[in-house]
Amino acid sequence: MDALTLSVILLWAAVLALGVMLWALSRQVGVLFERVAPMGALITDAGPAVGTPSPSFALTGLMSEPVAIGGVQPQATLVFFLAPTCPVCKKLIPVLKALVKDEGRGLRVVLASDGAAPDHLVFVREYGLESMPYVISTELGMSYRVSRLPYAVLLDPQGLVRAKGLVNSREQLDSLLNAHEMGAASIQQYLGSPAA
C-alpha cells in the first residue's frame, strides 16, 4: 500500500468518526432542549397577588382619554410598564403592536410609565403608540410594586390579577397570556403541577 492510499483511508476514517460525534452531539442537544423548561416572566412576590383583585384606577391617558384599570372591564387588560429610556422596552414595542393586532377585542394593552409628559409624547409619536392607551402615573407603578422594567400585569375582565412579571422578551410576554389561558399563575407553576 502506498502513502496516498493510506492517507485516503485515514481521511475517510476521520470523516466517519466526525460524523458519529456530530450525531452524538446533536442527540445530546436534543435531550438538553427537552429537559430545559420554557422560561416565563419573572414573577415577583410584591404587589397584588395573582388571583386577587387589582386596585382600581380612573386615570387620564396621554391623549386626554379616560383609562380605567381594575374593576370589571369588557375585556382582559395587559398593563405594560415601560420608560422612554429603556432599551428592552423599545425592543418589545413591535411585539406589543402585534399582540394588539392578534388579540383584537379580547385584550386591551395599556402602556404605563411615570415622569414628565413631554418626554412621553415624543416617545409615543416616535414609536407610533397612539393607538394604545398610555398613562403616566407614579401611583399605578407603586400599587403594583414595579421595581424593574419592562414589567407587565395581566388582569381578567373581572379585574383580578391573572399573571404578572418582569418581561424581557416576546416569549416571556407570551408566557403571561399562556399561563392565564392554562389557569395558572405562571408557566413555572403550571409545569410544576402534577397535572402537567
Query: pLDDT digit string (tens) for 37-51?
Result: 455 555 666 788 888
Cis amide prior to 194 (ω within 30 degrees): no
Report pTM: 0.74
Q: Which helix (H) or strand (E) holds 100?
A: helix 87-103
Q: Which helix (H) or strand (E) holds 113?
A: strand 107-113
**Choice among 10-24, 62-76, 120-134, 162-176 with the minimum mean pLDDT:** 162-176
DSSP state of 14: H
Q: How confident is the model at residue 196 (pLDDT cuts 50, 70, 90)?
A: very low
Number of CB atoms found within 10 A of residue 36's CB: 8
Asked if residue 92 has pLDDT above 60, the reply is yes
Q: How confident is the model at residue 106 (pLDDT cuts 50, 70, 90)?
A: confident
| Residue 155 in grid coordinates | 388582569
Query: pLDDT digit string (tens) for 139-179?
Result: 999 999 998 899 999 999 999 999 888 898 888 888 888 87
Q: Which residue, among 112, 145, 162, 138, has the nearest Cα to 45 in the 3D structure? A: 145
Query: pLDDT digit string (tens) for 13-34?
Result: 999 999 999 999 998 888 776 6
Distance CA 69, CA 109 (A): 11
Distance CA 111, CA 127 (A): 13
Distance CA 124, CA 62 (A): 9
Per-residue pLDDT, 185: 58
Distance CA 196, CA 28 (A): 24
Q: Which residue, among 92, 95, 67, 69, has the nearest Cα to 82 in the 3D structure? A: 92
Q: Which long-range contacts (CB under 8 A, 24 or more apart) does 176-180 make?
A: 176/40, 176/41, 176/78, 176/152, 177/78, 177/103, 177/107, 178/40, 179/40, 180/76, 180/154, 180/156
**20 burial type by CB count under 10 A (0-12 exposed, 13-18 middle, 19+ buried):** exposed
Do the beta carbons of residue 78 and residue 167 sit within 8 Å?
no
